[in-house]
Structure 1
Amino acid sequence: MMDGMDVENGSEREERSPGRKFMMVLVMGFLLTIPLFVTWLLVYDRQSQSETAQQSIVSGWGGEQVFAGPKLVLPYNVALQETVEQNGKSVTRTNIVQREFFLAPEKVKLDSALKTRTKKRAIYEVVVYDTNVIGSAVFRLPDDFGRDGIAITDIDFTRAELRFGLSDARGLAGDNSVTVGGEKLVLKPGRGLGETGNSGFYAWVDASGLIEGGLEADFAVRFKGNESLTIAPHAGLTEWTVQSKWPHPSFTGSFLPEAEETKVTAKGFEAKYLITNLALGSSLVSMQVGHQVNPGRTGPMVHFEPDGGAVAASATVHLIQPVDLYGQVDRAAKYGFLIIGFTFVAFLLFDLIGGVSISSVQYILIGAALVLFFVLLLAFAEIIGFALAFVAASAATIGLITAYSASVLASWRRAGLVGGLLAGLYGAIYILLSLQAYSLLIGSLLIFAALGGLMFVTRRLDWSGSLSRVRR
């Protein structure tokens, strides 16, 4: 009885149509998208852990710095009239309110050299830098200054402030100095600029020199940061020269350096920016958007930066790592469908045409090995880099599936064909990852060629017939 049932079941398996076999393989391939999706989540999780580790490495060192300044802050008095009801009568009174306006320099020149190093913790690393921004700024009142509604006689030049902005003031280090007219100023923390979220430092200065002419400030500010340095320009002319021995810079932001004065080599880079306030679209004078203070008497100066705390215009230099291994592993994992699909099609052809019976369990095991490739790639890449990791993971996967195929296909020759197919697939994927601009074109042509080959091989296959008839 049992023998009869076995023969009958075996006959049913033998008579299963190629179409049903194809649908079964398609369903198994679809099920493998679940572990493939979990692999993507693993990549994102490891990337998040890497970013957290990098933040802990640079904690206390200095973040991605934004430098702004200097700006002169000049207090002035304004008379405001208001009408109030007092004892049943309308009384008009005048309140003297102290406000401030911000004067950007006519010209500012900045020169910064980034001394870089790589800080590591376990398998994680981050690029940090130490820089000394040496610069000078020239301040002058605009020729049409009176049109702003402020009289020079209302300005208290002796109580001016010279403000600098630095987004992460923890990075300030060394003997920072600011001199105006040859006199060294005493620097105080806080009261930065809006471009840096009001973080930075300032100094009191007598700006009486603006009445008759100009005011020149020289400064040297040393600070530490990581990964990027941003300059927030606001002068009539900003000239910024930046250099470093780091060979992998990326220039971003609202403005790019002058092409003819930018050099990037294996030994480092040097770039020069020239930015005018016409390009910025902003005036050198900005008024305080404040409110009256202490009605009825002259109140204390209100410190408020009108720019709102956001970097509207910027020039940024990123010190990038040449290989973003998590990004590359993520892109490689997106080709998982391609690898699984090509491999399953190869085994399906051996099943339908080659006369080899392959069970669904064997398909699942082969698919699991293909998915495991991306986990191995991620694990190895964190230790030895992406290129070597790709070679190691692909070699291990090809070796495992080839050895297993020799038993499944009952032939080392057929197993060698599977190994060659996988080697070609992994090689093609590595090329696709390297040629980002043409990856879609090459991938599309590869799939088109594979589809054409599959259609040619199966052109006479009766998909509704039985496998026994096909194999005879």
Structure 2
Amino acid sequence: MPQAAPAKPLPAAPTVRSERSPGAKLAIAVLIAVALMVPLLMVYGLLWDRQQQADTARASIGQGWGGQQTIAGPVVVIPYRDTDTTTVNENGKDVTRTVNTIRNLYLSPLSNSADVTIKPERRKKAIYDTVVYESEVVGSARFELPDDIARYGVARDALLLDRAEVRLGISDARGLVDGNRLTVNGTVVPLQPGKGLLSTGNSGTFAFVDWTGAAPMAVTYKIAARGLGDFRLIPRGVDTRWTIKSSWPNPSFGGDFLPKHKITPQGFSATYAIPNLALGQAQVLTGDLSPPSSNPYDGRGASYAVETVAAANDGEVSGGTAKAVAISLVEPVDLYSQVDRSIKYGFLFIGFTFVAFLMFDIIAGARVAAAEYLLTGVALVLFFVLLLAFAEVIGFTPSYLLASAAIIGLLATYSAAVLKSWKRARFLAAMLVGLYALLYVLLNLEAYSLLIGSVLMFVALAGVMYMTRNIDWSGIGKKEPETAS
């Protein structure tokens, strides 16, 4: 019998790549998103470094121009004779000794009024620029020696009126320019360097005056000084009135007293009226006023201020702490603070983009690998680096448009290949356009940024929960392959 032909083997079933469950895909996306927080924090470090370089550049501008200016006075300083009595023990006996000393009496004006003009100017070093100013204080003050001077613990005949001085405190004398003058009872008196007031670190200028104290003394003065940062004034007197004007349209008022002010696109004006009852200071003091607690002395820190006060006080008893008003010429857009705030929303961009990829993967069947999640996340983080780099050169808004357009174009092209569909890529690009537009709005609406961001996250979470309500997260999302018969 003829042998039967061997049976042909059945064709092998097609090999199927193992499919992860939807829960596993979600876990991978979450892990990669968390890992991307590391480069996002590195961008924070880069931002901090660039901001430090900008501060260094501004400080170098201030070295030649003048630092933060604090102006105080005028104050009449009158030396007077005093005695110190001390008791010491010598050979078991108490011995009393009296030592004659010379101390200073600080007389504040009965009235002090001034017109202040602040002229802003923009200075640049390398790619960094800052706003500096030139201030001009033109004022008049009236001094009168109280009849009851003995109530302050000083006898009138102990006053050395022929050695009296009119002092003006200026915290950074490097900024003084030509045009400073001082007149006493209509007579111009020459200004001398140094011997300012304790509230300005003993920096400033003064003039000798020969005053009998019998009649009031009228003083007019003009101080012209350049500065950088805050402009501060320290009120001294029974009645202080200042009128301040500037062409800068974005001022910030601070300190111990706030003015009546008017702000327009052409500049601002502010009016201060400060009585000594609000100051809490007597007209006559036997010790000078120490600096305001918020005065950092040209950014050199609190330790410098303490050392300066100790050196300037020269053993005198402090007459209290000075109060001050402050005006800042605020930048309309501080690009570093804007970039800093935008980085804080970086996790939203990563989260929304990964959720979109995850939905396409689980619901639409477009397989997205872990490496593709990672590359997409790196591109989203790169946006903030581009934003910072361009903002230092062309400004925040143009750099925001340029960086967002570059990243949206890159991810749209890449997602078309990953998701195997230009329709899906256009959806992702539209979502990113909406996110970047929303972020720009959030950066400009500081008061409502938290509200809008939280509502957006709620809406996004509700949408994801609705779309995934029927998904078996622990099961296999791919259909079983048909086996060949």
TM-score (norm 2): 0.88
The answer to whether the 8 Å contact 2:287/2:318 transfers is no
Instruction: Work out which of the residue numbers 184, 199, 205 in structure 2 matches 1:201.
Output: 205
1:450 aligned onto 2:452: no
Instruction: Work out which of the residue numbers 251, 254, 262 in structure 2 matches 1:252.
Output: 254
- Cα displacement (A) at 1:227: 3.1
The answer to whether the 8 Å contact 2:72/2:168 transfers is yes
CA distance in 2 between counterparts of 1:83 and 1:305 reads 20
Match of 2:118 in 1: 114
Instruction: Work out which of the residue numbers 171, 175, 180 in structure 1 matches 2:184.
Output: 180
Match of 2:41 in 1: 37
Match of 2:300 in 1: none
What SS class does the counterpart of residue 282 from structure 1 fall into? coil
The answer to whether the 8 Å contact 2:74/2:168 transfers is yes
CA distance in 2 between counterparts of 1:127 and 1:342 reads 39
Match of 1:230 in 2: 232
Q: Structure 1 residues 217, 444: CA separation in 2 closer, same or farther (over 3 Å shift)?
A: same
Q: Count how many residue pairs are aligned between Structure 1 and Structure 2.
A: 447
Q: Structure 1 residues 83, 265: CA separation in 2 closer, same or farther (over 3 Å shift)?
A: closer
Match of 1:11 in 2: 17
1:424 aligned onto 2:434: yes
What SS class does the counterpart of residue 478 from structure 2 fall into? helix
1:328 aligned onto 2:338: yes
- Structure 1 unaligned spans of 5+: 290-301
Q: 1:153-302 alignment to 2 at 5 Å?
A: 153-208=157-212, 210=213, 212-258=214-260, 262-288=261-287
What SS class does the counterpart of residue 356 from structure 1 fall into? coil
- Cα displacement (A) at 1:246: 1.6
CA distance in 1 between counterparts of 2:93 and 2:396 reads 82
The answer to whether the 8 Å contact 2:262/2:268 transfers is yes
**CA root-mean-square deviation:** 2.3
The answer to whether the 8 Å contact 1:165/1:198 transfers is yes
Q: Which residue type is aligned with residue 156 of structure 2?
A: I
The answer to whether the 8 Å contact 1:129/1:226 transfers is yes
Q: Structure 1 residues 388, 246: CA separation in 2 closer, same or farther (over 3 Å shift)?
A: same
Match of 1:435 in 2: 445
CA distance in 1 between counterparts of 2:151 and 2:381 reads 71
Q: Structure 1 residues 31, 403: CA separation in 2 closer, same or farther (over 3 Å shift)?
A: same
1:125 aligned onto 2:102: no
What SS class does the counterpart of residue 68 from structure 1 fall into? strand
The answer to whether the 8 Å contact 1:246/1:267 transfers is yes
The answer to whether the 8 Å contact 1:249/1:317 transfers is yes
- Structure 2 unaligned spans of 5+: 1-11, 289-312
Q: Which residue type is aligned with residue 256 of structure 2?
A: S
CA distance in 1 between counterparts of 2:458 and 2:36 reads 23
CA distance in 2 between counterparts of 1:403 and 1:374 reads 20
For residues 293-332 of structure 1, what are the alpha-carbon distances to aligned partners after superposition, in whole Å with 9 as ceiling and x for unaligned? xxxxxxxxx9677558x97411111111100000000000
- Cα displacement (A) at 1:469: 4.2
The answer to whether the 8 Å contact 1:232/1:311 transfers is no
CA distance in 1 between counterparts of 2:110 and 2:147 reads 12
What SS class does the counterpart of residue 138 from structure 2 fall into? strand
1:372 aligned onto 2:382: yes
CA distance in 1 between counterparts of 2:350 and 2:94 reads 86
Instruction: Tell me which moved more, 77-86 or 415-424.
Output: 77-86
Q: Structure 1 residues 112, 369: CA separation in 2 closer, same or farther (over 3 Å shift)?
A: same
Match of 2:106 in 1: 102
CA distance in 2 between counterparts of 1:263 and 1:88 reads 72
- Cα displacement (A) at 1:156: 0.8
CA distance in 2 between counterparts of 1:325 and 1:126 reads 12
Match of 2:7 in 1: none
Q: Which residue type is aligned with residue 225 of structure 1?
A: G
The answer to whether the 8 Å contact 2:341/2:443 transfers is yes
What SS class does the counterpart of residue 195 from structure 2 fall into? coil
List, as ranges, runs of 4+ consecutive aligned residues in structure 1 with deviation greater than 2 Å. 79-95, 141-145, 302-308, 469-472
What SS class does the counterpart of residue 467 from structure 1 fall into? coil
The answer to whether the 8 Å contact 1:126/1:227 transfers is no
CA distance in 2 between counterparts of 1:50 and 1:283 reads 43
- Cα displacement (A) at 1:91: 5.1
Instruction: Work out which of the residue numbers 469, 473, 483 in structure 2 matches 1:459.
Output: 469
- Cα displacement (A) at 1:76: 1.0
Match of 1:299 in 2: none
What SS class does the counterpart of residue 458 from structure 2 fall into? helix
- Cα displacement (A) at 1:151: 1.0
CA distance in 2 between counterparts of 1:81 and 1:29 reads 76
- Cα displacement (A) at 1:73: 1.0
For residues 105-148 of structure 1, what are the alpha-carbon distances to aligned partners after superposition, in whole Å with 9 as ceiling and x for unaligned? 11111112122211112221111122221111111233543211
Q: Which residue type is aligned with residue 226 of structure 2?
A: K
Instruction: Tell me which moved more, 142-151 or 362-371.
Output: 142-151
Instruction: Work out which of the residue numbers 64, 68, 75 in structure 2 matches 1:71.
Output: 75
- Cα displacement (A) at 1:94: 3.1
